[in-house]
Amino acid sequence: MCSPRLLSQVYESIEREDRKVSRRSIFAALGATALAVGAQNTASAAPAALPLNGSTLVDLTHVLTTNFPVWPGAPSFEMKNLARTASTGGSLGSLGSLGSLGGGSSFYLNELRMGEHTGTHIDAPAHASADGITVEKIPVADLVVPIAIIDISVRAEADNNTVLTRADILDWETVHGMLPSRSLVAMNSGWDARLRVDGAFTNQDALGRQHTPGFDPDAVDFLVRERDILALGSDTLSIDAGRSTTYGAHRNALGSGKYAVEALANLSTLPAVGATVMIGAPTHAGGSGGPCRVIAWH
């Protein structure tokens, strides 16, 4: 932990060195240090507020419920109660001994069951690439990155099968400049609002085919070859369009060692460029991905 006293000592010493250093940049430096320490030590050394001083926080994570849409055929999210707190008066269930841990106190806990690609989640390179790394091996420095948002929501509303193209990227760059180095490039298709309407998120037709936007595989090829990106993001269940049967966006991105974050929320509240995002990826050994807490600030 960084105590307030330690912080003011750091300020004093830095301000003695260079009176022009802003407090905000000190916070950013301290935050980056704390995150790096946390990577080597499971006891978190990162005070959450440090890198966020003066910034607006945005939660890019959907609340995960048992009704959250999943890829057709994938297991739904299940949460089974194992033990309830005494105050709720519930039963202790089949593992009742867990509900009473010393002194008669009891604890509330559940068992979770889900596919790895459930809710707001990460796809590790291994998900679509035989020699890609698994989720626990993604370097922590690659999980705190600039995020660039390319908005195709107007077009996606009119054409649910539209794809984000190379031309969309070049158009974006004429307005905002070249995509930031080591960035996560996210497609905002306005899809998160569809969670409020039953069936609208997966948007399946009578034959079960999904009609949802995604990245054109050619655009992904351009991003991995001609730009310095680390990851792709989408507000749909997949970085590929729902109608794709060849999954070219996955193959081009994950096959190039990039990762993907899918079912992102609230992308429309972020600036097109200038925000940073932290992907709270899981660390189960050998995993192909998993649910994440994704938090951005700007």
**Residues in the site for Zn ion, rule: CB under 5 A?**
117, 123, 262
Distance CA 253, CA 240 (A): 10
Give min distance, CB of 162 to Zn ion, in A.
20
Amino acid identity, position 214: G
Give min distance, CB of 9 to Zn ion, in A.
45
Pairing of strands 289-291, 293-297: unpaired
Q: Which residues have CB under 8 Å from 222's CB, separation 6+?
A: 166, 169
Give min distance, CB of 123 to Zn ion, in A.
4
Give min distance, CB of 117 to Zn ion, in A.
4
Amino acid identity, position 292: C
Distance CA 211, CA 228 (A): 30
CA 74 from chain centre, in angstroms, equals 20
Distance CA 127, CA 262 (A): 13
Which residue, 28 or 135, is less far from Zn ion as judged by CB?
Answer: 135
Smallest CA-to-CA distance from 262 within 223, 213, 200, 218 is with 213
Which residue, 62 or 117, is less far from Zn ion as judged by CB?
Answer: 117
Tokens of 89: 């008066």
